[in-house]
Amino acid sequence: MINIIGVQGIPLIKPGDNIGRIILEKIKDNNLSLEDGDILVIAQTIISKSLGRIVNLKKIAPSNEALELYEQHLKKAKNKGIPIKEPELIQLILDESKEILKVEHVIIVETKHGFVCANAGIDKSNIEGESNVALLPKNADKEAERIRYTLKKLTNKDVAIIISDSFGRPFRVGAVGVALGVSGINAILDKRGEKDLFEHELQSTLVGQVDNLASAAQLVMGETNEGLPVIIIRGYSFDLNEEASISPVLREKNLEIFRDKTAFSNILTSRRSYKFKFDSKEIEKKIIKECIELARWAPSAHNAQQWRYIILEKDDNRSILIDNMNKILRNDLEKDSKSEEFIQNKINRTRENFLHAPYLILLCLDEDGIEKYPDSERTQNEFILGVQSISASATYLLLAFSIRDISACWYCAPLFTKEIVKKTLNLPESFVPMAFFTVGYSIKSPKVPARKTLDDIIFKIKK
């Protein structure tokens, strides 16, 4: 059985107070004693107070950056009818953060500790003084360890300490308890390799052990005026670990998928050209159209949007088109004196790629959108601008597929068979076929092709 016991009578904490001794005194006053294996969950506020991490906002001079963030926040908070954070508080949030992630009605940051939370965890509640706020402890693991040592010295009991706070969650309403620092107990319980009820081996189960305990303590601790900042959890079985720290709860950056910047750079780096057989699972045409809808937002020279997309489904008699294109391909390869075997391989691969993809999308450049000049050089440049513009749209399209886990590959074949493509599909005179995109769900993961280094691609001009 697990007991959750609130320690009554913890006094208002002042800077320099010895939290370990105070807790022990009050445990005795409650006619309790510490036992081996107890977990003490301690509210961050009293730790911050004992460390003197209380700041009077009136003494803060906001920087220009804080004033700018205030303007952004003000609009959003007003629209949502949510209390406005003064520039002085925003300055403190900036001082306590490694990175500002979002400025909305709340300000979401990564704190210097690496926690992603609202307002850098700075809090007014349960702090004396109208304009005083509490900052998070700089190193809650260290404070937890200090308290564990004090209690061990005074009682010879092996207990674990969790310093807790409550954080809101991005996709669920309602704050829950979280651990900011630990001593004696592992932050994460690794269940990988253990068996479930049906003897299946668990592949990825990592339990947020100390956050669960912090949340359980929160039930008794309360958030408002309950005055119970110290909770004993008794009867929870865990392995004592003197080396434990909070750091395993912080997700490695390369495994973070929700942070905007990371998510976007992940999208850019994880998009791949898929050149294999596709899964037989169907894609709704609606989804293809949604992706093309996003491809409309690419930049284009003169905003001419010269791109035209033709969606060819499986039953659209693609084989005539492919056979016609292959005649041109054969002709070209024969002119290059390629062997029959080579030619046959190429032709088979083309058939396989373009015939069996669930969707084949043809991208054309509409020359009607191209500006014409009296001289050929400028007219030629305008054509290049058109090509550049449709390429931007094609890139958007590939990214739009990628974020929906749809695989695709860009093929240049129509560019080399323009006339026959136009004729077979009966396209308008102004259309110039430029590229095919094979589209479908993948059945394997392509290798990541090497990229040139930054030094290779950033050319430095000699002075």
Ligand X SMILES: Cc1cc2nc3c(=O)[nH]c(=O)nc-3n(C[C@H](O)[C@H](O)[C@H](O)COP(=O)(O)O)c2cc1C
> What is the contact surface with ligand X in residues (CB under 6 A)?
272-273, 275, 409-413, 446, 449
Residue with Cβ nearer ligand X (98 or 277): 277
Supply the minimum distance, in Å, between the C-beta of residue 388 and ligand X: 11
Residue with Cβ nearer ligand X (167 or 411): 411
SS3 assignment, position 442: strand
Supply the minimum distance, in Å, between the C-beta of residue 399 and ligand X: 11
Residue with Cβ nearer ligand X (60 or 362): 362
Interior/surface letters 226-237, b for 16+ CB within 10 angstroms, e for the rest: eebbbbbbbebe
Supply the minimum distance, in Å, between the C-beta of residue 277 and ligand X: 14
Residue with Cβ nearer ligand X (451 or 460): 451
Supply the minimum distance, in Å, between the C-beta of residue 270 and ligand X: 10
In what order do the strands lie in the sheet containing 107-111? 97-103, 107-111, 116-118
Residue with Cβ nearer ligand X (41 or 298): 298
What is the spatial distance between Cα 57 and Cα 251, in angstroms, rounded to a whole number? 32
Residue 363: CB atoms within 10 Å = 23
Residue 32: CB atoms within 10 Å = 15
Contact (CB, 8 A) for 70 and 269: no
DSSP secondary structure letters along 163-194: EEEEE--SSSSS-EEEEEEEEEE-SSEE-TT-
Residue with Cβ nearer ligand X (207 or 412): 412
Residue with Cβ nearer ligand X (93 or 325): 325
Residue with Cβ nearer ligand X (129 or 446): 446
Supply the minimum distance, in Å, between the C-beta of residue 423 and ligand X: 21
SS3 assignment, position 160: strand
- The closest alpha carbon to 401, from 445, 443, 359, belongs to 359
Supply the minimum distance, in Å, between the C-beta of residue 294 and ligand X: 18
Quick one: tokens of 95? 């001082």
CA 115 remoteness from chain centre: 14
Supply the minimum distance, in Å, between the C-beta of residue 299 and ligand X: 17
Residue with Cβ nearer ligand X (84 or 412): 412
Q: What is the CA radius of gyration of the chain?
A: 32
Quick one: tokens of 409? 């590959």
Residue written as token pair 């300490």: 161
Supply the minimum distance, in Å, between the C-beta of residue 409 and ligand X: 6
Residue with Cβ nearer ligand X (70 or 274): 274
Close Cβ partners of 31 (under 8 Å, ≥ 6 residues apart)? none
**Secondary element (H or E) of residue 363:** strand 359-366
Quick one: tokens of 419? 């006339």
Residue 417: CB atoms within 10 Å = 22
Supply the minimum distance, in Å, between the C-beta of residue 394 and ligand X: 8
Residue with Cβ nearer ligand X (236 or 437): 437
Q: Which residue is nearest to ligand X (CB)?
A: 273
Contact (CB, 8 A) for 185 and 245: no
Supply the minimum distance, in Å, between the C-beta of residue 392 and ligand X: 11
Quick one: tokens of 230? 């110290």
Supply the minimum distance, in Å, between the C-beta of residue 43 and ligand X: 50
DSSP secondary structure letters along 220-263: HH-SSS----EEEEES----EETT--SGGGSPPGGG--SSHHHH
